[in-house]
Structure 1
Amino acid sequence: MSSILTNNSAMVALQTLKGINKDLSDTQSMISTGKSIASAKDNASVWAISKVMEADVKGFNGIQDSLSLGESTLSVAANASETVTDLLTDIKGKIVAAQESNVDREKIQTDIDALTDQIKSVVGAAQFNGLNLVQGTEDVNILSSLDRSSDGSVTASDIKVSRQDLTTSAGVAGTTALTGGVTAANYGTITDSTGATATTTTPATGSTAQIDFAGTAADGNVYTLNIEGYSVNYVADVSGGDDDDAIRDAIKGQINALGIDGLTATDGSGTGELVISNTNAFEDFDISIVQPSSGGTMNISAINAETGLTSTSGSIEQRAQTLDFDTSAGISEGDTFKVTVGSSSFNYVAGKGETMEDVAKGLKTAIDSNPPDGVTTKTMYDEATGQWSLAVDDSTGGQAFSLAVTTGGEASGGLFGLDNLDVSTNEGASAALDNIETLITNSIDAAANFGSAQGRIETQKDFIEGLTDALKSGIGTMVDADMEEASARLQALQVQQQLGIQSLSIANQAPQSILSLFR
C-alpha cells in the first residue's frame, strides 16, 4: 500500500543516515582530539582512571623539580666539604712542618690562620637558594615520591639528608643535670694510674712496682725479668758473694742500661727490694718475672695500690689519668661533657648520631685549645673491649680533676677547635697534629655522606623519569585513539553518508509516483 502521509522508506533511510552521521561525528572527534575517550560520557570508568593517573603524572613532574633542587643543593654542599678537606690537608702540611724546632713557627701560624679563615668563608658561602647543609644539625627532607595505596590514599616519601656541621662553633652547654650522676652505668669513670676510680686530683708522678728478692739463693739460680719486650737475666753466684742485694743491684743495673724513656730502677727501702718507676705520661709497661727453680723467691708487690699486679706479672701504668667512656651508653644530641682540670673547665657538646669516639676526641680538642700549664692529652682505644678513653696528664700534679655530664645543649661544630690550633710551641704543635687528623676525618665523613645522598637522589630521579614515562604510556593505551583505524573508519563512514543521502533522496521521491495514477 502506498501512502502520501507515511513514507516508511524515508524514515528508515533517515534513521540510518542519523546513525552514520553520529558515528562520523565521533570519528572526526577522535581525529581532532587524538583520544578515543575524551570525556566521562565516552567511558566513565576508564576516563576516571586516566584522570587519576594524569594527576599522578603532574605530581611526579613536581617531584622531579624537587629532586633537581635537592641535587643542586647537595652538589654545593659536597663541593664545599671536599674543598674544606683540601684546605685542612694543607693545614696538616703546615703543622707537620712546625714539628721541627728550627722553623719559623710564627709564619707557619700565619698561614694556618689564613687557611682557617678560608675554610670559614667556604662553609658560610655553601648555600643554594638559602639552604646550607654544612651548617647546623637539623635534617633536610627532599620530596622523592608519591605512593598511592589500593584504597586510593596518597602518601609522600622523602629522602632524608643529614646536615654535616662543618662550623667551628663550640656549641652551647646543656644545663639539665644527668639523673644518677656520672657512673659506669651511664657515661664513664675516671681511673688513675693506681687503678683507683672517681679520683679528684691529678697525680704528679707515675706508678711503680716493687720487686722483692728474698730467701737464700743458690748457685746457678736464674732470675729473669721481662719488661715490655725487653728481657733481663741474671745467674746467681752465691759462692762468689751474691746475696739478695747483689742480685737486686745486678738486675737494677741491667734495667737502667736499657735506656727506656721514663723507666728507672732504684733501691727500695728494705733488703733485696727493687723499685721500678714509670713516669711516662701515656705509656704503660707490662712486666713479668720467672722465679728461680729453687732457693729464694722473687715477687712483684704493689706500691700506690697498683692495679693488676700479681706475684708474677702486671703492668706499670702511665702517669696520666683516663676518662674511660662506657661502651654501652647511648649519646643524644646536646649531651654536654664537662672536664675540669684545676680551675679550668672544658666542654664538648655531642651532635646527632655521635659516639664515645667523637666525645673523647672532642674533649681532647677542647682541652688542647687552651690547656692549663703542664696538661697534655691523648685519646686511646681498646680493641678488645671497644672502649674509648681520654688520657689527661698533669705534670704539675695536685689539681682538681672531674667529669660532669648535662643534657639539653646545642651541639659543637664538626670543626670545633680549628680556631685554636697553635703551633707556636712544641706542645701546641704536637697537639695540633693529633687534632687536625680528627678535623680531616670529620670533613671526609661529611663529603662521603653528601656523596651517598647524591647517588640516592640521582637514582630516584632516573626512576621517577622512567615511572612518569610508563604512566603516560599507560594513559595513552587507555584513552588515545588508534589513528590508522580512525582514518579507515572515516573514509568508510563518508561513503556510507553519501549512500545514506542517496537512499533518503530515493525514498523521498517514491510518493511522486502516486501522481501518475491521477493522470
Structure 2
Amino acid sequence: MSSILTNTSAMVALQTLKGINSNLATTQSEISTGKSVGSAKDNAAVWAISKVMESDVKGFKGISDSLALGESTVAVARQASETITDLLTEMKGKIVAAQESNVDRVKIQDDIVALRDQIKSVVGAAQFNGLNLIEGMDSVSVLSSLDRQSDGSVNASQIVVSRQDLTMTDGSLGTGAGLTDLSTNVQSTSTTLSATAIRDDGAGTPADISLAGDFSGDSLSFNIGGTTVSFAVGDLSATNTTAAQTIADAINAAQIEGITVANNAGTLEFSSTRDFDQTTISVTQGGASSGTLGAGSVTLDQRAETFTFSNVTVNEGDGYQFALSNGVTATYVASNGDTMEDVVKGLKVAIDSENNADLTTKVSKNGSDQWIIEIANDNATDATVTITANDDVNGNAVQTGGLSGLDNIDVTNDAGASAALDNIETMIQTSIEAAAQFGSVASRIETQASFISNLTDSMKAGIGSLVDADMEEASARLQALQTQQQLGIQALSIANQQPQNILSLFR
C-alpha cells in the first residue's frame, strides 16, 4: 500500500544512512586519533583498563628516574670506597716500612698523615645530589617498583642501601639502659692488668721446680718455650742449692725473651713477662739420675688479660666501653649489621688509638669460636679495667665510624708502629667490604632498571593492543563506508520521490 502520509521507504533509507554516517564518523575518528577506544563511551571496560595501565606506565617512568638517581649515588659511593681502599693499601706499605727501627719514622708519619687527609677529602666529597653513602649510619631506600594487587591496591617496593660509614668518628655511648646480658656477652667485665711478671699457670699453680739431692752425676736438659739449655754430667754441684744457682745463671744468660728464673734455696722460680704467649718449661734428666726434681714440667701464663665475647646478636647502637685506671678509655658503638667481630676489633683500634705505649692488644678467636681481646700492661703500675655497655634506646649514641682510629695512627715509636700494622688490616677490610656492598647494590639497581624498562615497553604494547586502531582495517572500512554513504544518499533520494509518483496517478 502506498501512502502520501507515511513514507516507509524513506524512513528505512534514512535510518540506514544514519547508521552508515555513524560508522563513518567512528572510522574517521579512529584514523585521525589512531585509537579504536578514545573515550569511556567507546568501550567503558577497555577504556578503564587502559587508563589504569597508563597510570602505571607513568608511575614506572618515575621509578626509572628514581633508579637512575640511586644508581648514580651508589656508583659515587662505590668509587669512593675503592679509592679509599687503594689509599689505605698505600698507607699499609708506609706502616710496614716503619716496622724497621733504622728508618726515618718521622718522614713516614708525614706521608701517613697526608694519605689520611686525602681519605678525609674523599669521604667528604663522595656525595651525589647532597646524599653521601659513606657518611653516617642510616639506610637509604630507592623506589624500585609499584606492585598492583588483585584488589586494585598498590604497594611500593624499595631497594634498601645500607650506608657504609668510612668516617673517623669516635663512638659515644648512649644513655640507654645497660645491656642486661653484659655478663654473658663479656666473660670478664672487671679485672686488673698486672704490671709484674707472671709466676704461675693462670690457675694459681706456681711455675717452680725444686731440686733435692746430688746432681753431680746427672745430666739435665731444660726446654723453655722451645729454647734448650742443657747441662752435662759433672756440670752441676752435688749441693742442690749450688746446682740450682748454676742452672738459674745459665738460663738467664741465654736471654730467653720475657723469661727469668731465680734460685730460692734450691727451688727454681720461673717468671714471665711475655704478653701473649704461655710458656711451658720441661726438664729431662739423665746420667745417674740421683738428684730429685720436684716437677718435670711447669707452665707460665701469659701476662695479658683475656676478655672473651660471646657470639650474641649485636644491635645497632649497642655500645661497649673499656675504662682503664691509667686514664685510657676505649669505646665502640655498633652500626647496623655489625657482629661481635666488629665490636672486638673496633675496641682494639680504640685502645690502640690512645697511643699508650704501655698497653699492647691482640684480637683472635679461641677454641670455642668466640672472639677475644687480650690486653697487656707493660707499665710498672697495675691498671684496673672496667667494662660497661649500654643500648641506644634513647637514640643519642654516636656510632663509631668505620675508620675510627685512623687519625690517631702514630708510627714514630715501636709500639705505635706495631699497633698500626694490626689495625690497618682491619680498616682495609672495612673499606673492601663497603665497596663490595655498594657493588652488589649497584648490580641490583641496574638489573631492576633494565626490568622496569622492559616492563614499561610490555605495558605500552598491551595498552596499544587494547585501544589502538587497526589502520589497515580502518582504511578499508572507510572506503567501504564512503561507498555505502553515497548509495544511502541515492536510496534516500529515490525514497523521497515516492509521494511524487503517487501524485502522478491523479493527473
TM-score by length of structure 1 reads: 0.85
- Partner residue of 2:30? 30
- Partner residue of 1:516? 504
CA distance in 1 between partners of 2:39 and 2:163 (Å)? 48
- Partner residue of 1:262? 258
CA distance in 1 between partners of 2:376 and 2:460 (Å)? 66
Q: Which amino acid aligns with 2:78?
A: A
Residue 504 (1) aligns with residue 503 (2) = no
- Partner residue of 1:162? 162
How far apart are residue 277 of structure 1 and its match?
A: 2.9
Query: Where do residues 480-495 of structure 1 align in structure 2 (5 Å cutoff)?
Result: 480-495=468-483
Deviations 1:3-37 (A, max 9, x none): 22222111111111111111111111111222221
76-85 or 406-415: which moved more?
406-415
How far apart are residue 391 of structure 1 and its match?
A: 2.4
- Partner residue of 1:391? 375
Q: Which amino acid aligns with 1:494?
A: Q
Q: Which amino acid aligns with 1:349?
A: V
Contact between 2:71 and 2:445, CA under 8 Å: does it hold in 1?
yes
CA distance in 1 between partners of 2:212 and 2:418 (Å)? 49
Q: Which amino acid aligns with 1:200?
A: T
CA distance in 2 between partners of 1:54 and 1:297 (Å)? 99
From 283, 304, 311, the equivalent of 1:320 is 304
Query: Where do residues 323-342 of structure 1 align in structure 2 (5 Å cutoff)?
Result: 323-328=307-312, 330-342=314-326
How far apart are residue 370 of structure 1 and its match?
A: 2.4
Residue 87 (1) aligns with residue 80 (2) = no
Unaligned stretches of 5+ in structure 1? 191-197, 301-311
Query: Where do residues 243-392 of structure 1 align in structure 2 (5 Å cutoff)?
Result: 260-267=256-263, 269=264, 271=266, 273-286=267-280, 315-328=299-312, 330-382=314-366, 384-392=368-376
How far apart are residue 154 of structure 1 and its match?
A: 0.9
CA distance in 1 between partners of 2:454 and 2:86 (Å)? 38
Query: Where do residues 382-421 of structure 1 align in structure 2 (5 Å cutoff)?
Result: 382=366, 384-408=368-392, 409-421=397-409
1:234/1:472 CA distance change after superposition, 3 Å: farther
The DSSP-based 3-state class of the residue aligned with 1:171 is coil
1:179/1:356 CA distance change after superposition, 3 Å: closer
CA distance in 2 between partners of 1:333 and 1:255 (Å)? 52
1:356/1:117 CA distance change after superposition, 3 Å: same
- Partner residue of 2:107? 107
CA distance in 1 between partners of 2:228 and 2:467 (Å)? 91
CA distance in 1 between partners of 2:97 and 2:145 (Å)? 52
- Partner residue of 2:185? 186
How far apart are residue 248 of structure 1 and its match?
A: 7.0
Residue 74 (1) aligns with residue 69 (2) = no
Deviations 1:168-200 (A, max 9, x none): 1113332345155842x133415xxxxxxx423
The DSSP-based 3-state class of the residue aligned with 1:189 is coil
The DSSP-based 3-state class of the residue aligned with 2:192 is coil
73-82 or 357-366: which moved more?
357-366
Deviations 1:137-178 (A, max 9, x none): 011111111111111111111111111111111133323451
CA distance in 2 between partners of 1:315 and 1:442 (Å)? 38
- Partner residue of 1:194? none
Contact between 1:287 and 1:315, CA under 8 Å: does it hold in 2?
yes
CA RMSD of aligned residues (A): 3.3
How far apart are residue 247 of structure 1 and its match?
A: 9.0
CA distance in 1 between partners of 2:44 and 2:290 (Å)? 109
CA distance in 2 between partners of 1:119 and 1:81 (Å)? 10
Identity %: 54
1:233/1:28 CA distance change after superposition, 3 Å: farther
CA distance in 2 between partners of 1:475 and 1:333 (Å)? 50
From 191, 195, 201, the equivalent of 1:203 is 195
How many residue pairs were aligned? Answer: 496
- Partner residue of 2:420? 432
Contact between 1:206 and 1:281, CA under 8 Å: does it hold in 2?
no
How far apart are residue 406 of structure 1 and its match?
A: 2.8
The DSSP-based 3-state class of the residue aligned with 2:118 is helix
Contact between 1:286 and 1:314, CA under 8 Å: does it hold in 2?
yes
Deviations 1:49-89 (A, max 9, x none): 11111111111110110111111111111111111111112
How far apart are residue 224 of structure 1 and its match?
A: 8.1
